[in-house]
Amino acid sequence: MSFDVICFDCDSTLSTIEGIDELAKRVGLGEEMSRLTDAAMNGEVLLEAVYEQRLALIRPDRLSIDWLADLYIEQIVDGVKEVFETLAAAGKQLHIISGGLRQAILPLARVLGLPETQVHAVDIYFNEDGSYCDYDQNSPLARSGGKAEICRRLLKSQGSLVMIGDGKTDMEAKQAGAVVIGFGGVVDRLVVREQADVYCTEPSLVSVLAYIL
């Protein structure tokens, strides 16, 4: 199969961490938050049921978002840079589609040579002193079905699209007519194994190239 548009989830796909869980650990709420994240990624609860709740508990400030941005880069999944370089050289249009916080993901995107316009994630807002204010409550990516919405928009202007990710929310891209590759190299989720069109368990992201070029 060959695709015009190639989309990647971020957490547990491009980076080995779950950003929201790392922010939670930083304020002593790690275990509680991991349970909520897992429930959403395994499809046990709707994303919107936990999204606001998690941020209201953590209240991440600007400093913690900068810290998380560094961590995303530090914990990059093996083979990610090679994958992005290979696909860019082949003239593919690359996007990150994530339910994570956009300001924390943008520096990783820059490392991978991706323009900001090709990063779809949830904006976070701060007060003047850098403390947490709110997040973009209108973002489709803060609710279930959001990744399918973004894929639909991208498919309007292009031909074929593939979504690569590790969670139940990534499987929703199929609703938009996308092919979905489940990446189990960081976290192996049964729901993804069952629903993905293709499933990769290798720890290196390079394993997906065989299916998208």
70 is catalytic: no
Query: Which residue ranges make up each domain of the chain?
Result: 5-212
9 is catalytic: yes
pLDDT at 100: 97
Per-residue pLDDT reduced to its tens digit, 57-101: 999 999 999 999 999 999 999 999 999 999 999 999 999 999 999
Per-residue pLDDT reduced to its tens digit, 131-164: 999 999 999 999 999 999 999 999 986 679 999 9
pLDDT at 98: 98
Which of 11, 21, 61, 170 is the catalytic position?
11
- CA 25 from chain center: how many Å? 19
What average pLDDT does this structure show over 41-47? Answer: 86
Which of 9, 21, 61, 166 is the catalytic position?
9
User: Model-level pTM?
Assistant: 0.95
Please name the residues in contact with 41: beta carbons below 8 A apart, sequence gap of 6 or more.
12, 166, 167, 168, 169, 187, 189
**What CATH number belongs to 5-212?**
3.40.50.1000
